[in-house]
Amino acid sequence: MPDLPKDLIAASSFPMILAVLAKGESYGYEIIKAIKEQSNGQLEFAEGTLYPILKKMEAHQWIASKWYKAENGRERKYYKLTSLGKKQLQTEKENWQSVNQILQNLWQLNFNYQ
Amino acid sequence: MPDLPKDLIAASSFPMILAVLAKGESYGYEIIKAIKEQSNGQLEFAEGTLYPILKKMEAHQWIASKWYKAENGRERKYYKLTSLGKKQLQTEKENWQSVNQILQNLWQLNFNYQ
DNA sequence: CAAATATACATAGAACTACTATGTATATTC
DNA sequence: GAATATACATAGTAGTTCTATGTATATTTG
């Protein structure tokens, strides 16, 4: 299967990451893994892609971070959704659903014309 | 309803325009109107947005254009899907459906946790 | 035990893209 | 005749993305 186009990955990155964090707080590396698993390997965010997004979300106050120490002593930066972030997740979802509905309707028309 | 984010509009522009042309050949201004109607006004491509996209699609040979003269004597540039374009429409659709499915699965998980 | 890999976070800047701003032009409406 | 709609077009600015590269430590492998 061909790689997904960059613009589509970019457009879905925010809703996707917010959705992962809605399941529970998580840290960068684990978020990457969760998305890879959820997409059966179709999507794999590089760290250099993910951390700027997390930084931006934090700047928007959609998420908040906190350092924790893992069992092996490693430091991990955990992110969790804020109430603002939950609202934004809802907004991202509605936006996506809107565009998706428009596309599905158009494709339905295409199908009917075939 | 708030405006849709630019990145989502950008990511969906190609599949959307290809889908409009799958219904039948059309010209620029009419494509803009078709999308506006199909989206109940949520989406409104500016000409400065549309024509570079059409140009790019033509460069990819997904569409072909031809000048026709309208009833009032005005020249119109009609675009139609090529067989390559039909394949690309299918690819765009599959890509979108892939990402959409990933998001819907994640949102389903979110819903179950609420 | 050393090398390789995995884990974990981070940022600069080059490359790329989008779309606004602006343009030309003619038909129609007010 | 002015305003608006219709019709097509492009340059270049602004913004964005993500690659490349970095630091660092734990674990696995040979």
pLDDT of residue B2: 53
User: CA of B68 vs C1' of C13, distance in Å?
Assistant: 47
Instruction: Give me the CATH topology for the region A6-113.
Output: Arc Repressor Mutant, subunit A (1.10.10)
Q: In this predicted structure, what is the pLDDT of residue B1?
A: 44
Q: Tell me the domain boundaries of chain A.
A: 6-113
Among A81-90, B2-11, B98-107, name the one with the lowest average pLDDT.
B2-11
Within 7 Å of a protein beta carbon, the nucleotides of strand D are 6-11, 16-22, 25-27
Instruction: State whether B99 and A4 contact (CB < 8 Å).
Output: yes
| Interface contacts (A, B; CB < 8 Å) | 102
Which residues make beta-bridge pairs with A80?
A64
Between B83 and B109, the more confident residue is B83
Q: Is the pLDDT of residue B18 over 90?
A: yes
- Mean pLDDT over B94-102 rounds to 94
Contact call for A7 and B7, based on CB within 8 A: yes
Picking from B24, B2, B21, the residue whose alpha carbon sits closest to that of residue B89 is B21
Q: So what's the pLDDT on residue A1?
A: 44
Residue contact A102–B42, C-beta within 8 A: yes
Beta pairing partners, A21:
none
Closest C-alpha to A86, from A18, A10, A9, A40: A18
Residues in B touching A9 (Cβ below 8 Å): 99
| A78: phi then psi, degrees, rounded to nearest 5 | -90, 140
C-alpha torsion B11→B17→B23→B25, nearest 10: -160
Reported as a single tens digit per residue, the pLDDT across B23-74 is 999 999 999 999 999 998 889 999 999 999 999 999 999 999 999 999 888 9
List the one residue out of B80, B109, B71 whose CA is nearest residue B20. B80
Q: Provide residues of B within 8 Å CB-CB of chain A.
A: 2, 4-5, 7-12, 15-16, 19-20, 22-24, 38-39, 42-43, 89, 91, 93, 95-96, 98-100, 102-103, 105-107, 109-110, 113
Q: How confident is the model at residue B111 (pLDDT cuts 50, 70, 90)?
A: confident
**Which residue of A106, A108, A111, A112 is the best one to mutate when testing the B interface, meaning the one whose CB has the most B CBs within 10 A?**
A106
CA A99 to CA B79: how far, in whole Å?
23
Other Cβ atoms closer than 10 A to B91 = 16
Q: Which residues of chain A have pLDDT under 70?
A: 1-2, 112-114
Dihedral Cα A60, A66, A72, A74, nearest 10 deg: 60
